[in-house]
Structure 1
């Protein structure tokens, strides 16, 4: 999963990366642009799972197989 940190004081957004990379970028931004202010803001995730997000496709495949089985048993 990728993370992007948003500054709570301005429109700055870190680049997409690991959680620790985004946090380092945000801390550097605050030190450079907002000294003396405690870092805040939001953390955005890209929503992708590490496995590639094939859960919906697997579910759909199971549903199709069940529909075919139900149709073949009904005469």
Structure 2
């Protein structure tokens, strides 16, 4: 899934990135623009266009299919 981090002090926001990349960009922004202030703001998750949203679902489908075939041959 992609995330966008918003600064709690100004209007800065990161582009849609992975969670670790977004956190790094936000920390870099705070260090450069708001030194001495603990990072704040909020995180937005891109639910309309998630990156790789199916996860391990295809692998699980293959495992279930193989189990069904093995069970049918066992009879």
**Fold shared per TM-score above 0.5:** yes
What TM-score bracket applies, with the shorter chain setting the length? 0.5 to 0.7
| 1:1-75 matched pairs, under 5 angstroms | 1-47=1-47, 48=50, 50-51=53-54
- What is the alpha-carbon root mean square deviation over aligned residues? 1.6
Deviations 1:5-34 (A, max 9, x none): 000000000111100000000000000000
Runs of 4+ off more than 6 Å? none
Give the match's secondary structure for 2:31: helix
Q: Can you give the 5+ residue segments of structure 1 that lack an aligned partner in the other structure? A: 53-75
Count of residues paired in the alignment: 52
Q: Can you give the 5+ residue segments of structure 2 that lack an aligned partner in the other structure? A: 56-75
Give the drift of 1:51: 1.6
Give the Cα separation in 2 of the matches to 1:21 and 1:13: 13
Q: TM-score, normalised by structure 2?
A: 0.65
